[in-house]
Amino acid sequence: MPRKGAPTSQSVLFRRSEAGGGLRACVVLVALSLVMFTMSVREGDTGGPLNAVRGAWMTVTTPVRWVGGAITAPFQGLGNVVANLTADQGRLSDLKRENERLVARNAELEESEQTARRLESLLGLQSLYNLQSTAARIISGPTDSWSSTVTIDKGTSSGFSVGMPVTDANGAIGQIVQCGATSSTVRLISDENSSVSAMVQSTRAQGILKGSVDGTLHLTLVRTDQTVEEGDMVVTSGLGGVFPKGLPLGKVLSVERTSGSLYYEIEVEPLSSAESFEEVLVITSLTEDQKATSEDVAEADKQDTAAGGTAPTGDATTEDDTVAAEGVADGTAAGDGDSAASGSDEAGAGGDGGE
C-alpha cells in the first residue's frame, strides 16, 4: 500500500505529460515571440503590421491611460510640495529676490513687447514663433523603464504624424515617435536616444543636444574655440528641418574643457521637467522663416571646417528613423558626412561642406 501523500505512479505520469504539454507550448510561443521580435526590430518605429497592431492597441487603451493620468494627476506635484515645505530660510530669501527681479524684468519685457508689436504692425513682420500647431494634453508617462516618453491624447485623427516636434510653454520637449488614431507617444529630449541639433543662443555655437538615462542633457560636438558660458541659453538650430529654429531647450549648467579634446563637455539643464507637462503644442508644419537658412548651414559648415572635420562618426545618428532626420542635421552641424549621406538635401549639403 502506498504511503499517504506519496506521489502515485498515475500522478507522476500526469505531471510528466502536463510538463510535456507545457514544454511544447513554450517552444511554439518562444518561436513565435522571436519571429515577432525580429520583425519588430526590422520594422523600426514606422510602418509595418506590428506597428499597426501597436497603434490599434494604443487607441483601444487610451481611455484607461487617460483615467489613470487623471487619477494620479493630483499626486504628481506632491514632490514639489514636500520640497517647498522643507526649504530653508536662505532658499526662500533667494526666491523672493529672484521674484522681485523677475517682476521688474517682466515689466520691462512687457514694455518691449508693446514696442515690438507696434513695430511689427508697422513693418508687417511675423512673430518668430508663429507656430502652426495643435494643442494636446499629456495623459500618461512612460509605460516601461526603458524610454523617456509621454503619451498625448491626440493622434492621426487630429492630423498628427510620426516625427512632429512637440513643445510646452517653455520650449521644445520632444518629438512624436508613435502615432495611433487617438493618441501619440512623444519621445522627450531627455531620452537617452534623443538628439536634437542645437546651438548656444548668444554665440551661435552649433552642437547636438543629447539626452541621458538620468534625465540631464548634454550639448556635444561644440568646439573648444567657441565661447560657451554657464547660464547661456541653448536653442534649436533648425538644421534638421524638424524643430523650428530658435525654440528654447535649456540653460547651460556647466562647461568642462578637457585638455587635448576638441570639444567641450557641456551639461544643460532642461527648461521643463516632465512633471510639469500638462498641455503641449504639437507643431504640425514649419513656415519658411522657421527653417534653417542656407546661411545657417554655411555657418555650421564653417564651424566644422575650422574643427578639421574630425567629428566622431555616428554620434549624431540614432537607430530611430523618425529622429534620424534630426540626427542628419546634427551630422551637418558636426560635419559628419557619413551620417548626412542619406539625409535631406540641406543636410547633405552641410555634410559635404563639413568634409
Partner 1 sequence: MQVKDSNRNRRDFGVLALICLVLQLALAPNVGIGSGRANFALVFAGITSLLVGGRPAVLCGFVSGLVFDLSSTGPIGLMACLLTIGSFAVGIEARNRLADDFRRSMATFAPFAGIVSVLYHLTMLLVGDASSLVDVIIRRALPTVILTVLGFAPFAYVISHATGSTLSLGGKPSKSARSHGSRYDLDSV
For partner 1, the binding residues (CB under 8 A) are 7-8, 10-11, 14-15, 18-19, 21-23, 25-26, 29-30, 32-41, 45, 50, 53-54, 57-58, 61, 64-65, 67-69, 71-72, 75-76, 140-149, 151, 177-178, 185, 187, 192-193, 213-214, 319
Cα 71 to chain centroid, rounded: 26
Q: b/e per residue, 30-58, with b = 16+ CB within 10 A?
A: eeeeeeeeeeeeebebeeeeebeebbeeb
Quickly tell me which residue has 515577432 as its cell. Answer: 36
Beta carbon nearer to partner 1, 193 or 202: 193
Place of cell 530660510: 89
151 or 332, CB closer to partner 1? 151
Residue 186 or 228: which CB sits closer to partner 1? 186
Nearer to partner 1, 10 or 259 (CB): 10
Q: Residue 35 or residue 81: which is nearer to partner 1 going by CB?
A: 35
Min dist. Cβ of residue 258 to partner 1 (A): 19
Minimal distance, residue 35 CB to partner 1, in Å = 7
Distance CA 333, CA 291 (A): 15
Closer residue to partner 1 (CB): 36 or 135: 36
Minimal distance, residue 95 CB to partner 1, in Å: 27
**CA nearest neighbour of 332 among 230, 198, 231:** 198
Least Å from the CB of residue 75 to partner 1:
8
Taking the complex as a whole, the smallest distance from the CB of residue 123 to partner 1 amounts, in Å, to 45
Shortest spacing between CB 188 and partner 1, in angstroms: 12
Residue environment code for 156-170, b if the CB has 16+ CB neighbours within 10 A, otherwise e: bebebebbbbbbbeb
Which one, 6 or 122, has the nearer CB to partner 1?
Answer: 6
Q: DSSP assignment, residue 223? A: B
Q: What cell numbers appear for 179 in the block? A: 502615432
Extract the C-alpha cell encoding 8. 502515485
DSSP code, position 255? E
Q: What values do phi and psi take at 140, rounded to 5?
A: -165, 150
Measured from the CB atom, is 69 or 337 closer to partner 1? Answer: 69
Q: Which helix (H) or strand (E) holds 197?
A: strand 195-200
CA distances from 112 to 12, 34, 109, 120 (A): 86, 61, 5, 12
Farthest-apart Cα atoms in the chain, separation: 106
Residue 184 · residue 152 · CB < 8 Å: yes
Residues in the chain: 355
Q: Report in angstroms how near the CB of residue 43 gets to partner 1 at its nearest.
A: 9
Nearest distance in Å: CB 137, partner 1: 14
